[in-house]
Each structure stands twice: as structure tokens, then as C-alpha cells.
Structure 1
Amino acid sequence: MRTMSVGFRNAAARAFPGTVLAGAATAVALAVSALLPGLGALTVAVLCGLVVGNVFRLSAGLRLGLARVLRVALRLGVVLLGLRLAAGELLSLGAGTLVAVLLVVLVTFFGTVLLAGALGTSGGLGMLVATGFAVCGASAIAAMESVVDREDEDVATAVAMVTLYGTAAMVALPLVGDALGLSAPALGRIAGGSVHEVGQVVAAASPAGSAAVAVAVTVKLARVVLLAPLVTAVGLVRRSRSGAQGATKPPLIPLFVLGFLFAVLVRSCGVLPEPVLDGARQLTTVLLTGALFALGTSVRLSELIRTGPRALLLGLGSTALVTITTVAAMAALT
């Protein structure tokens, strides 16, 4: 027991410099995001990580700490994401809207995976873009990356695509909605069903008023709740294929996914006061920001640039798919 304790302290000491670096970068990313609300903290963190990892020569100690931050903070952040979801709020949308959300997620996910294959991008990039665009942007990418075969460059590219096309949708959707004379609830449903990040959804719906924002966020959270079954399903498929090929099997259900589901259950019971939930939301952002900075430091820009044109086409096609599917499904079912 004493030997294990000493080993743990030594590992923590070796990881400390990288943890401090990730903490400082997180503070910078949050500050920049506060000054430029259209630029999410997760995106700023990845960009900072890319700069640090490619401009500076990081020591082995720093890389060890950053790897630990990535592993621990990422999973804790996804678990806490579940505290944003309450079953009662989702049920208030009505059966038609919930079915529409399910169709949007499924069509976008599988359609994007097929498009990635047609464009010749890596399978890992296709899965990550499909998850991020279908569900909830960078948070979904962070959850899915642990159960698919991917390179670090695939994760960074997928997050970049979410930022680029989510920001474009955030700007364009209010203009289109105003031109078409959409009602506040209609615009809210389309924003919640098609825009990628939660912050981008809020910004897209805000010009139509608080009623549109309320609907948009609730629809968006209905997409988020599908993250756990989607990650679990992909993990099960990988597990079955690994068994057939004689390789080491991945976990049946990642522990952090079970934690996410437990957090959803706790939130739905209504036992946590609003200050606790607000603190959890802020902590979620901090954890995921630190994790994505750590991820960014491990990415080589030369590899990232090489996949650029095809990744741009993949993001454009996936954005068109999620938008068209959302408009059609909401019009038919709500």
C-alpha cells in the first residue's frame, strides 16, 4: 500500500507542470471567449494548444501532465454534461418534436459517415464529424473520440469544422428566419435541431426573442441526451469487430458514459438546487476547455493541413444535411 501511495505521489508530481500549463491556458481561453462570445472557449483552447504544441518544444514532463489532463478532465466534463438534462423538460416538447430530433440525429450521423467514405477521409474523422454535427459539437466529439480509432489530428479537425460551420449557421439562420417570416417557436426548433454548439444555438435564436431561445435550448438538449446511446452503440460495434479479429476488446460501455446517464437521472429527480447546477455548468466548460487545450498540443499542423480540403467539404455537406433534415422533420412532425 505504501509503495502504491509513493508511486501515485511521484506520478502526480511529474504531471504537475503540464497540469499547471493546462490550467493557465484554460483561463486564457475562457477570458477570450468572454470577450468574443461568438468564439467558444473550447475552440479557443484547441487553437491555443495547436500554437503551443507546434511552436514550442514541450518537455516529457509537460506532455505527461497534459496527457493526464486530457484523459481525466475530458471524462469528468462529459459526465457533468448530463446535469444539463432533465427528462421533464424534454417531454414538454411533445412527441412530434422528439421524433423529429431522433430523425435529425440518425440521418445526420449516418449520412455524414457515408459522405466521409465517399470523400476518402479517414474513418475516425468521419465518425467524429458525424457525432459533433449530429449531437452537440465539441462535447460530443470529446465523448466519441474515446471509443473510435482516430488520430489526434482528426479530433482537432472535427472541432475546427464545428466551429466554422456552427458559427456560419449562427449568423445565417436569424437572417433566413426573418426573411421567411418564421415564428419564434419555429425558428427555435430549427436552431436547436441544426446548429452545433449550445452557445451557437442560443446566439442563433436570440434575435427572435426569449421564447425562441427557450425552445431552441430544449430541442438542443434533446439532441444531447442521444449522446450516450450513440457512443454506447458505436462502442458495442467496435467490441464485436474486435472480438471477431482477435484484438483486445474495448469496454462494453465506457464508465464515463454510465456517469453521464447517472447525472441525467440526478438532474431529472430535481434534487439539486439551481446554484449547484449553475456551478456544474461552469465546471463542465472549464474541464472540457482544459482537455481540448491538452489535445491541441499533441496535434501536428502538417497532418492537419493535409486533410483540410476534404474536411471542409465534409463539414459543408454535413451542415447542409442536418439543416435540411431539421427543416423537413420539424415541418412534417410539429
Structure 2
Amino acid sequence: MSSPTSSRAVPPSSPPSTQAQPAGLWPGLGLSAVAALIALGINHAVPTASALLVAIVMGVILTNVRPLPASTAPGLAVAGKRLLRIGIVLLGLQLSLGDILGLGWGMIGVVIAVVVGGLLVTEFVGRLLGVRPAQRSLIGAGFSICGAAAVAGVEGVIEDKHEEDVVTALALVVLFGTLMIPLVPLASTALGMDPRDSGLWAGLSIHEVAQVVAAAGIIGPSALKVGVIVKLARVLMLAPVMVWFGLQLRRRGGQVEGKRPPLVPLFVAGFLAAALLRTTGWLPASVLDPIKMLQTFLLAAAMFALGTGVTASRLKNVGGRPVVLAAVTTLAVAGIAWSGVMFIG
């Protein structure tokens, strides 16, 4: 981690200094907040433009055009971790277990197959390619579950990761998820799939929720509704996957941020509790709508902070292996999803 006196900000994937005073957090937190508001504004003007992806791109561009002052480092670090985890907890309020169960047990099985299959393929192919274990885990989680939020969430429960592992996985999620937006509608038309099956395929195979909305929206209203529901079912898989990574870390006696990791990270428990609360139906839409806006704001601020760690020099040192792995994982997830839709959907 860079020194506070360095000319470059500490990458937000690194934990903030324990000696940082609260006042020292404001430059980075303020910058992240402004970026998140801009990203939300762009999303409002162009609904197909994901606020999270816009925020990541803004962070990448800004840090590569002009290195950020060191004073922003502590706040960016907090935004990239703590705001992210609060946002993930609030993300649980989007998940109604009733809607997910309405997909049927067969389709729920396909969701599990997509996530588990994607992770296994990434692990197997990543080993063959010589990709580092942490980078395999991050790419597998991002591409199999829910994109950037999964990358950043899993980053907190794995060990031996390098700063470029996180930023590379985030960059690849943006690249390949964006490419999937036009490709899935075109491929579903070429394959003669009806709108419902096309929406299921989009929700099962595309990385980010907003990317699913964009692709399924191109196909049609019926595709959009079912695509979002099945995608949220994939998001729900974030909790058990993170618990599994945490169990592996405890079994090996590893440490995260200098302490033994909890069996279930607090924010994962909060995510599940939020999903259960949403399922009860106690929260009215008048409360859920502003909470969803807050959740998007927090995640966008976190994505901007993480994006500031994606520098050209780091990506240049990554090489082509993670790109190949990302391409293989994308094809594997799409293939498992298509097979599931054809046989069960």
C-alpha cells in the first residue's frame, strides 16, 4: 500500500490506514459521492447506461488522465469497502424470495448450475492458464454471480490477492458484460428463441443486473420481467458463495486484514436478513424506492473508488491470460444457461 505522502492515491482495494482521522476521509468520500451523483444523472438520462458501470468508467478515466492527490486515498479506501458492503446489504431488499420461488425448482436448479459451473470452469481453466488463485476466484464470482458487486464482495473474504487482481476483474466485467448486451438478443433471435426463453437466457448469462435490463429490454417486456427475476436469483447466490470462500479461508487458517475471518461476514448476514425482510412484504413501495436509490448511490460511489485503482500501468502488466479466462468463463456461463433454458425453461 502506498504511503500517505506518495504522489499517487492508495488504491481503493487496499484497506484504509488505521491512523487516518475522520476529517482525512472527506476528500475521497466527497469525490466518490460527486461521481456517484453524476453516474446517477447519466443513468436517469440514459436508462440503459448502468450507474455502476458509468461510475467504474469515470474512475478509470479520471485516474489515468490525472493521478489523484494522496489526500483522497483514505476516503476512496473507505468508499471501496465500507460503502460497498452497506450497498450490498441494501441490495438484499430488491430480492423477494417469493418471486424467485415462482421461477420453479427446475429453473432455480439452473441458476445454481450456472453459478457453480461458472466457478468450476474458471478454476479449472484458470489453473491451466496459470492465472493466480485469487484472480481466478474474483473473475469466477464476477462472471457467475453479479458482476462488479460480486468481485468487490468476494475480495473481502479471500487471501493472497494483489491489487491488480481486483481491478483486472472489474475491468473485465465491464468489457465482457457490455459486449453481451447486443450479443444475447442477436443470438437468441438467430437461435429462434421466444421472448420468455430469451429473457431467461439474458438473466442467467449476463453479468450485471443493469446489463440484463439493457439486453432483455431490447428483446421485449416479457423478456425483461423474467430476465430481472432470474438475475436476482443469481444475485442471491452471492451469500452462499461468500460463505464458502470464508469457510475455505478458515480451514486453511488464513487471515483477512490481520484477523481470522468470521464464518459468515456481517454484511452477508445483513444481505440475507434484508432479503427475508423484503419477502415478508412489510416494507411498502414508498420505502423501497428511496432505499433502492440509496443502494445504487452507495454502490456507484464504491465502484468509482474501485475504478480509480484501474491504471493503464497495472493492466499492462496483467497479460492476456485473464482476458482469455474471462472469455472462456463467459462462454461457459452462457452455454450452461442456454442448455438449462432449453431443457427446463
Same fold (TM over 0.5): yes
Residues 186 and 18 of structure 1: is their aligned pair in 2 closer, same or farther, counting only changes over 3 Å?
Answer: same
Inter-partner Cα distance in structure 2 for 1:236 and 1:227:
14
Deviation of the 1:220 alpha carbon: 0.7
Residues 42 and 208 of structure 1: is their aligned pair in 2 closer, same or farther, counting only changes over 3 Å?
Answer: closer
Q: Which of residues 232, 241, 244 is equivalent to 1:221?
A: 232
Q: Which of residues 11, 27, 33 is equivalent to 2:21?
A: 11
Show structure 1 runs of 4+ deviating over 6 A: none
The corresponding residue for 1:118 is 128
1:329 pairs with 2:340: yes
Q: Which of residues 197, 202, 207 is equivalent to 1:186?
A: 197
Residues 65 and 329 of structure 1: is their aligned pair in 2 closer, same or farther, counting only changes over 3 Å?
Answer: same
The corresponding residue for 2:85 is 75
1:236 pairs with 2:247: yes
Deviation of the 1:34 alpha carbon: 4.2
Inter-partner Cα distance in structure 2 for 1:45 and 1:155:
16
Q: Which of residues 151, 157, 172 is equivalent to 2:162?
A: 151
Deviates more, 1:297-306 or 1:139-148: 297-306
Query: Aligned AA for 1:142?
Result: A
Deviation of the 1:269 alpha carbon: 0.4
Inter-partner Cα distance in structure 2 for 1:110 and 1:44:
30
State the Cα deviation string for residues 204-224 of structure 1 (Å, max 9, x = none). Answer: 222332111111111111111
Q: Which of residues 313, 320, 327 is equivalent to 2:331?
A: 320
Query: Aligned AA for 1:66?
Result: L
Inter-partner Cα distance in structure 2 for 1:66 and 1:168:
28
The corresponding residue for 1:291 is 302
**Would the aligned equivalents of 1:174 and 1:207 in 2 still touch at CA under 8 Å?**
yes
1:97 pairs with 2:97: no
Counterpart mapping for 1:133-172 below 5 A:
133-149=143-159, 150-172=161-183
The corresponding residue for 2:281 is 270
State the Cα deviation string for residues 192-248 of structure 1 (Å, max 9, x = none). Answer: 11111111112222233211111111111111111101001101101110269xx95
Deviates more, 1:255-264 or 1:177-186: 177-186
**Would the aligned equivalents of 1:205 and 1:216 in 2 still touch at CA under 8 Å?**
yes
Q: Which of residues 29, 40, 47 is equivalent to 1:30?
A: 40
Residues 153 and 135 of structure 1: is their aligned pair in 2 closer, same or farther, counting only changes over 3 Å?
Answer: same
Query: Aligned AA for 1:124?
Result: A
**Would the aligned equivalents of 2:168 and 2:310 in 1 still touch at CA under 8 Å?**
no
Inter-partner Cα distance in structure 2 for 1:18 and 1:71:
13
State the Cα deviation string for residues 280-325 of structure 1 (Å, max 9, x = none). Answer: 2221111111112222333443122221422221111011000111
Deviates more, 1:64-73 or 1:32-41: 32-41
Deviation of the 1:38 alpha carbon: 4.7
Query: Aligned AA for 2:235?
Result: V
Residues 328 and 154 of structure 1: is their aligned pair in 2 closer, same or farther, counting only changes over 3 Å?
Answer: same
**Would the aligned equivalents of 1:152 and 1:299 in 2 still touch at CA under 8 Å?**
no
Residues 167 and 259 of structure 1: is their aligned pair in 2 closer, same or farther, counting only changes over 3 Å?
Answer: same
SS at match of 1:182: coil
Inter-partner Cα distance in structure 2 for 1:230 and 1:269:
24
Inter-partner Cα distance in structure 2 for 1:60 and 1:181:
54
The corresponding residue for 1:85 is 95
Inter-partner Cα distance in structure 2 for 1:292 and 1:169:
20
Inter-partner Cα distance in structure 2 for 1:308 and 1:34:
36
Deviation of the 1:29 alpha carbon: 2.7
SS at match of 2:204: helix
Q: Which of residues 195, 199, 203 is equivalent to 2:210?
A: 199
TM-score by length of 2: 0.88
SS at match of 1:242: coil
Deviation of the 1:169 alpha carbon: 1.5
Give ranges in structure 1 of 5+ residues lacking alignment.
1-7
The corresponding residue for 1:5 is none
**Would the aligned equivalents of 1:50 and 1:297 in 2 still touch at CA under 8 Å?**
yes
Deviation of the 1:176 alpha carbon: 1.8
Give ranges in structure 2 of 5+ residues lacking alignment.
1-17
Query: Aligned AA for 2:224?
Result: V
Query: Aligned AA for 2:298?
Result: L
Name whichever structure is richer in helix by fraction: 1
Inter-partner Cα distance in structure 2 for 1:248 and 1:279:
35
**Would the aligned equivalents of 1:69 and 1:290 in 2 still touch at CA under 8 Å?**
yes
* Percent of aligned pairs with the same amino acid: 41
SS at match of 1:328: helix
Inter-partner Cα distance in structure 1 for 2:308 and 2:267:
23
Query: Aligned AA for 1:31?
Result: G
Inter-partner Cα distance in structure 1 for 2:254 and 2:30:
40
Deviation of the 1:180 alpha carbon: 2.4
**Would the aligned equivalents of 1:121 and 1:307 in 2 still touch at CA under 8 Å?**
no
